[in-house]
Every structure is written in C-alpha cells, then in structure tokens.
Structure 1
Amino acid sequence: MTPPKDIQLIGNELALLWEDGSETYILAPVLRAASPSAETAGERDILGVLHGGEHGKDYSQVRIESWQFVGNYAIRFKFSDGHATGLYSYELLKRLGDQ
C-alpha cells in the first residue's frame, strides 16, 4: 500500500487522503487506543498468554501532537500523553477509518 498523499489534523481528528482519492478520518482518542505498541496492546508469550497493555484506559482527552513517516509502510504518532512508540501501518490506518 502506498503512503497517504496528504495528512492533516482537523481539530482532534486525523484526515488522510490516499492516492486513489479515498479519505480516512480517525479521532485522536481512537487512534491512541488502537496503538499497536506492546506498551498499549500488550504482548503474548509463547503459550499465547497476554502480558501487559493498557486495556480499558481512558484516552478521551488525548491529542495528536506530531507524526513522522517510518520507511514506506507506517507512521509514528506522538500523542499529548507522551506515547510515541506505536508504528501504524497504512493498512491499519485504513481499517481504523472504516470502523
């Protein structure tokens, strides 16, 4: 998947314009809660048991402060709560906008 053609922050909502002309909109708290980082999502051990994570945490006041492209496959966002370790693939961003 190709990177977004344009990214803008509209209030507390992330807007992405894709090469095919489609648009994706994701509220900052939704984006933060969906972070694929081990800090947020937790990690599974070899037996499949989930360890850690921040399930059920309230992100309603979190805002997006900045972002940077990582390679040609993902974006790293920095949030107002200090979180900046999740790498959001373009596919994940597209899926979050479809929900």
Structure 2
Amino acid sequence: MAGLNKDTPTPQDITVHSASKVLEIAFSDGQTFRLPFELLRVYSPSAEVQGHGPGQETLQTGKRDVTIVELEAVGNYAVQPNFSDGHSSGIYSWDYLYFLGSKQDELWQDYFRRLQEAGVERDAPMPVKSGHACGSH
C-alpha cells in the first residue's frame, strides 16, 4: 500500500478499550471511530489474512473474543496491533483504519455474508493449517 495521501485525516488520539474490546480513534477531520477488535482482526491487512491477491483471502473465524495485547506505532503512518491469538503481522495505515471506520457497517455485512457462503460459524475455531507447527500457543 502506498504512503499516505496528503488528504488523509490523521489520528489525534488512539485509545485501546480492553474491557469493551474496541479501538477508539479520533481523526483530525473530527470523525471518531470505535473499531471492534474482532473487525480489526478479521480485516487484518496482513498477507496471512488477505492472501497475495483477490480471492486468496483466508476467512477468519472465532475472533469475537480476541483482544489487543499491545499496539505498536509504525513510523508516523500506521499501527501494528499484537492480538491475543498471536496474530501480529498486520500493519494498519491511517488510511486503512479510516476506511475500516467509515465502512464498518458494510464490512460487517460482507463478513457475515462470507461466513454464510462458506457455511461456517462466526465462532468456529480456525482450522489448523497442515504442516504449520504452532507450538507457542
């Protein structure tokens, strides 16, 4: 993803609300978004979730209770959350966070539609990839 568009609003304030599981972001244009951790996790911009091209996305499930353990700044253009399920490779640019916030309703609908099409439950555990040793969890 290219650098910041000069017109992109920048976050003035970012708050991790662990109890309610939302990331609250106040942008410079006056918009404030409350992004559920589950939405952030399901729409992680990482290759692990997005794949390497259209149609390669991995549908994420069982993320309703995921929390953000740590939130690291990446330069002055993005944040990298470390999620409680061990996922930490997603780098969320300001543009992407703004997109998630402004399109939140559509994104939820799209997510639920994809779950339905795949015939999987929102809370189903993620299938373990074969040949992927994951002894650290």
Task: Settle same-fold status: TM greater than 0.5.
Answer: yes
Give the RMSD, CA atoms, in angstroms: 1.8
Structure-2 change in CA distance of 1:40 and 1:4 (3 Å): same
Number of the residue aligned with 1:64? 68
1:82 to 79, 86, 90: 86
Structure 1 segments of 4+ aligned residues over 3 angstroms from their partners: none
Structure 2 counterparts to residues 8-19 of structure 1, below 5 A = 8-10=15-17, 11-19=20-28
Number of the residue aligned with 2:58? 54
TM-score w.r.t. the length of structure 2 is 0.62
Matched, 1:73 2:77: yes
CA deviations over 1:30-84 (Å, ceiling 9, x no partner): 000010101111113xxx673xx53142211111111111112211001000111
How many residue pairs are counted as aligned between the two chains?
A: 94
TM-score w.r.t. the length of structure 1 is 0.82
How far did residue 28 of structure 1 move?
A: 0.3
Number of the residue aligned with 2:112? none
Structure 2: give runs of 5+ residues left out of the alignment: 1-7, 105-137
* Higher relative contact order (CA closer than 8 Å, sequence separation 6+): 1
Percent identity, please.
Answer: 35
Structure 1: give runs of 5+ residues left out of the alignment: none
Greater Cα radius of gyration, structure 1 or 2: 2
2:11 aligned counterpart, secondary structure: coil
